[in-house]
Amino acid sequence: MQPFKNLIGFVRDIEDRLIFETAEQVFNQFGFVIKDFIVNKQLFREGIDGTGERIAPGYARTTIRLKISKGQPADRVTLHDSERSVDSITIEGTADSLVISSDVVYDKYIFKKYGKDVIRPTAENLIEFIEKFYIPRLKERVQNQLKQ
């Protein structure tokens, strides 16, 4: 019966500690990948928010002219007009959550116009991140725990 108690203790340790600790470490170490997904894959290339919806409303006529003169896409919202808004996006992992924020002075206007989902990763991008970064690290930590 003792081996089963040890196994149950190990499983509870994985649930209680390893899963959340690993998530926090991976999000903090590789958060720049999530930021890249949001800034480049979602906003710049596709003009979509974290729900996968096209960001609307679009740009005003003067902004469209400015974007064209800069060589940026004008057919979708990218938030790349001044670069400050996308550069200010920060990713922080905590014990039980992923916090994505922006600290530019005018971010409240961006969120009011486009919604908070504008800096949220899509489900597809988050799944890709989890498969490439989180799961391998969690497997490694579980294997190391089993060896002890």
Residue 123, amino acid:
A
What are phi and psi for residue 89, nearest 5 degrees? -70, 130
pLDDT mean across residues, the chain = 87
Interval 64-113: pLDDT, tens: 898 889 888 888 888 877 677 888 899 999 888 899 998 888 888 888 98
CA pair distance 103, 87, nearest whole angstrom: 9
pTM: 0.82
